[in-house]
Structure 1
């Protein structure tokens, strides 16, 4: 199985499980490498209730050390962060990047201004929102994040669809500028299987985006976005089928922010 690099810890306040349980699940799933990339601290502590505070980064490193100890040479453990791109606070990413020698950083957009649009707590706001405007703002923000060159992996590209709200018409009008920006930046994207278990019932990103990404030469990782040991490598067989249908034959590995590649298994 491909490496699973997008996984969380209880420090984000909405995940469960001990490091030893996550490692056991990764070994049982047969992933080539296991990466830990919890929600990074924001520029101020208490920014929201679904991430660690800056002072907890030391606890995060201890959690990772426990995971590495549990792996006992059976599987490589890589360390990363899922960093939020928050307008006006982009320089904060540099502070996070310098905290330790990360293997990779994931860039994600969860916020439009002060609205964390994928948070179920604010679901009712979608019914009062101009969906086309929200999508336009989201994809412009996503492209700007790619242009920054700060990240190794672009997280769950079309997360904006999580609750099933989509504009009418050909959505490639949103995808194409973002794909161009990602390709120019040299970032990889992830095929994130968590979307199959959200209201949109579709992995992130959808096949049209994946096709465009492959045509643009954008590298790929497959990720579970697991918040519980039972979710590690969830739906990877299905994701491999999607990736191969788009044309991918390999996925990316990261070590100290340097890349290598591994063959994508045949779909089972």
Structure 2
């Protein structure tokens, strides 16, 4: 009898979960959307990732047996994971995981392999690297504009040389969300000091030029800009003393 109860308890007990899986489950509960796969768009208008998913689901829905349909859909969704087809979604996930100190979570990049978020996201102050990377860093718009185009200069240099990213008017015109980028830069320029700055993310690389390092990317679909409010400045010693004497 005791053996039977022990066997029953063993069967009913949940399977052991390793620490990596526990961390993944914690992050899944806390993060709005935990991205496990990234399909990199090859052009601004690329929607192949979404259309592939839709066509596969449509194919499964044609199964005549309802039980077969449910089983196939479960298996497909389980294998799909949380797939992102935009850098925006991946960046949002990275920022949330960073706040939670969970950057050890992994995701798969189509045609590149599996990375932790800590491995894939590379701050500009670390300089260039070979292979896949999402570079990021704080930057400020230069006052000189190129029509609607603009240049961002990163706060942290690399090897004592400045890093810049140039967004041309043509690329903004060809990229539908480019209008939001233009509006973002216009609003920053119109804001009095202390101005907010931009945290720029991009898939691509860094190349050395005559005047410093240039961020390189193939399409604006590989660039994400986020506005960061300026930090509140601590009052100077004179101002603090004046406040105390009032």
TM-score, length basis structure 2:
0.28
| Higher RCO by CA contacts (8 Å cutoff, separation 6 or greater) | 1
Greater Cα radius of gyration, structure 1 or 2: 2
Larger fraction in strand: 2
